[in-house]
Amino acid sequence: MSDQVGVFFFIKLYKTRMRLETIDIEGKSFFGIAMPYDTDLIAKAKKLKGRWHPKRKLWLFPITPERKEKLIRAFNLQSSNKSKTLILKEKSKVPKEYLEQLERRRYSPNTIQTYLSLFEKFLSHFNSIEPEQLNDSHVAEFQTYLVSEKKVSTSSQNQYINAIKFYFEKVLGRERGYYHIERPIKEFRLPKVLTEKEVSAILNSVHNLKHKAMLLMVYSSGLRAGELIKLHIGDIDSEQMRVFVRGGKGKKDRVTILSQKALVVLREYFKKYRPKEYLFEGQNGGQYSDSSLRRVFISAIQRAKLSKRVTLHSLRHSFATHLLEKGVDIRYIQVLLGHNSSQTTEIYTHITHKGWEKIQSPLDNLNLDD
C-alpha cells in the first residue's frame, strides 16, 4: 500500500485486535475492518452495509463522512472501558488536516483517494522539507520532474496541480493564485466509441439478468458508472420514461431518457432480485461496487470477442455519438449527458460519420494521367 491512502486507525481490543483502515481495492476506496469471527460482530457489519472480502480477510464499508463515526459507535469503540482504546496512527506524510478538509468539503471517495495519493508523492519528492515550508518554486521543480522524468500525461499533471493547490489554499489558507504554474495544454484525444453493431454484440453476450440490466442502463441512458450504482429504485420514472440522476459529476442532478427495451429488462430484473434501496445492489445488499460493474463489462467484451480497446465509459460515449448520428440536436445531448458546456459535448461531432457519404475527396475531381 505504498501508494495508497496512508491514514490508519488501529483499535486495540481485549485479547484480540480490530483494525479500521482506509484501503484501495481495484481503484475504489473503502473502510476495511479485520475482526475475529463473532456472530454479533458480523451482524453489525452487515447492518452497516459491509461486505466480506475473502482475499483480504476484511469487511469493507463504503466511505462517507459519517461512516467512520458509525463504525466506531457500532463496535463500542468510544467506551470508557480501559481494555478498549482508540489510537490514531499516521503512516502518511500527508497532514491529517488535508484529509479532514477533503472530507469536510464532501469530496467523493475516489477524489479523496486520488488527491491523497498524488499529494503524498509530491511530499515524498521533498522528503526533508516540512509540508508547510513548500512553495511555488518547489511545485515548479516537481512539475519539471513529472514531465521530464516521469513522462506523465497532461491530465495527470493537472491532477497533481489540483491536489497541491488544495493543500496550499484550503489547508494552509494561502490566497488563491499564491503561486503561478503554467498549466500544461491538454492533449486533444477523441473518445473511444463503439458502433451500434459492437454494442449489440456486447449486450447480447450477457446472460446474467442483473448484469444485462446494468449495461443496458449505462448505454441507453448515457450514465457514468458512479451514477448507475447510485441509482435508487425511485429514480426510475416509467410513466414519463425518465431516469433521475442524483448527485452526478460535480454533485449535479439531471434527468435523462429511459429506454423502453431497458425498462422491459428492468422489470424482469426487479421481480427476480427485489432490491430494497439501490436499483442495483451487491450480494449482501447495499450499493453495487464500481469495480464489479467494470468487471462485468470486461467479461462482456471478452465474450463478444471484440479486439477494440474500450472501457465501460465507452458505452456513454457511444450513447452520445449514436444520438448525434440520428439527428438529435447537440443541445439536447448536452443536457442528457449533464455537461456544463456545449464545447464538451461537441467533441462527438469529431467522431460521427453522419453526412460523410456526401463528402467527396478533391482528388476524385482531378484529371490524372493513366
> What are the phi and psi torsion angles at 350 (to 5°)?
-80, -10
Catalytic: 224?
yes
Alpha helix (H) residue ranges in 196-289: 196-204, 209-221, 225-229, 260-273
| Catalytic member of 249, 254, 294, 295 | 249
Q: 181 and 136 in contact (C-beta within 8 Å)?
A: yes
- Between the alpha carbon of residue 349 and those of residues 240, 249, 355, the distances in Å are 29, 22, 11
Catalytic: 207?
no
Nearest CA among 161, 110, 101, 113 for reference residue 136: 161
Catalytic: 249?
yes
Give the residue carrying C-alpha cell 481503484.
27
| Catalytic member of 28, 49, 212, 224 | 224
| Catalytic member of 49, 211, 212, 339 | 339
Distance (Å, rounded) from C-alpha 8 to C-alpha 32? Answer: 10
Per the DSSP assignment, residues forming a β-bridge with 90 are 7
Nearest CA among 147, 141, 184 for reference residue 162: 184
Q: Which residues contact 317 (CB under 8 A, 6 or more apart)?
A: 191, 192, 193, 348, 351
Task: Let me know how long the chain is.
Answer: 370
Catalytic: 313?
yes
Catalytic: 160?
no
Find the angle CA(206)-CA(212)-CA(213) to the nearest 5 degrees: 175
Catalytic: 278?
no
| Catalytic member of 51, 230, 316, 322 | 316
Q: Which residues are designated catalytic?
A: 224, 249, 313, 316, 339, 348
